Amino acid sequence: MDLPFLMLVLLLTGIGVIMVFSASYATAYLQEDKSPTFYFFRQALFAAAGLTVMYITSKINYQTFRWLSVFALGLAVLLLIAVLIPGIHTSRSDGVKRWIAVPGIGTFQPSEIAKVAVIMYFSARLSKRNTEKPRRLSPRSPLSGVVGFLDRIGFLELVPYGLILLLIVGLMMLEPHMSGTILILAGAAAVLFAAGIKLYWFAGGGAALMGLVVLMMSGYQSTRILVWQDPWAYPRDGGYQIIQSLYAIGSGGLLGLGLGKSRQKFLYLPEPENDFIFAIVCEELGLIGAGIVLILFALLVMRGYWIAIHARDRFGALLVVGITTLTAVQVFLNISVVTNLIPTTGISLPFFSYGGTALMIQLAEMGIILSVSRQIPAPRQE
């Protein structure tokens, strides 16, 4: 087991739980009439459960996930369908359908399972990919002509993966869930790239993604673009949350106001324990504290790629590349939203944002990486 990676996960999880307590006690007590420690105890409980799941997962031979990948992908698709069925999902007032209620636990997003399922399935299939140059086909071959050309440039090889992504992205668009869609595509693209897929296909995929973004820019999504461009034009409506987030970041200065001393969490910044918890980190810990958190995330990502490079086989390497890239992109998008670099979208900060099932799934993903690290060949002694 890779101890540096494990220590980084434990450190980020511990800091995250502390920040959930600091960010949430005002909301719990003043707004929801609950115990100030309500969110803290729930997050701590899920963190303990998640760390247990991570430990168990790390002890499983990661080759097990190869044959589990088909089941995981099928389950993810079924859950993405189920979340669209009235009576199963928990819908917000704006019609967004992303959550399924689990009695006694809370809610979870099927997209969380879809992210890792796509990475597992793509890694399992692409680990068997033949990287040799394709042989020349005879003119009499059934694969000659247009079909043969498509086969030689690698198009036919990508069709199954494209169809899977098309199905999942289509279901995600019906929720709608822009950030989840981007994360799934990022994880899939990372695995495809690491498997040796030609770069020109990523240019085509990027163009398709831009088209998808345009299609999804309807209704509340297009409003978010306007808010992003000038949040102060909507100070009491769509721009309120990002304005309060920027106030929190600016108030922190270099050293911060001190742990637990945030002002914006006192019913100014909505739901500060969730997607905008990094704003509270900046306010209480300052630029230096927030920078340390970002350094920890950067070290986690770099160590993840180190494990991928040294993995025993291709399947393990692709698994780790996909999960590590997924984590890196999620951190980048969350912080970009909090600082108004990109339009607001519902994306959590790994290990920090309040959410029990999401935290457990993230820690299970870290367990997969640790499982791969356990089988890294020892360096030869000369």
Strand order in the sheet with 89-91: 89-91, 97-102, 106-108
pLDDT at position 90 is: 66
pLDDT at 210: 67
Q: How many residues are listed for the chain in this entry? A: 382
Other Cβ atoms closer than 10 A to 347: 25
Q: Are 26 and 266 in contact (CB under 8 A)?
A: yes
Give the pLDDT score at 154: 61
Tokens encoding 237 = 């409506």
- pLDDT score at 143: 54
DSSP string over 284-301: HHHHHHHHHHHHHHHHHH
Burial of 378 (0-12, 13-18, 19+ CB in 10 A): exposed
pLDDT tens, N- to C-terminus, the chain (382 residues) = 899 999 999 999 999 999 999 999 888 888 878 888 999 999 999 999 999 999 999 999 999 999 999 999 999 999 999 888 877 766 554 556 777 877 666 678 888 999 999 999 999 999 887 654 555 555 555 555 666 656 665 667 778 888 999 899 889 888 778 888 889 999 999 999 998 887 766 776 667 666 666 665 555 566 778 888 888 888 887 889 999 999 999 999 999 999 999 999 998 998 899 999 999 999 999 999 999 999 999 999 999 999 999 999 999 999 999 999 999 999 999 999 999 998 888 889 999 999 888 999 999 999 999 999 999 877 665 5
Rounded to 5 degrees, what angle do the CA atoms 220, 226, 227 make? 85
- 316's CB contacts (< 8 A; 6+ apart) are 62, 308, 372, 375
CA dihedral 214→215→218→221, nearest 10 degrees, is: -60
pTM of the model: 0.89
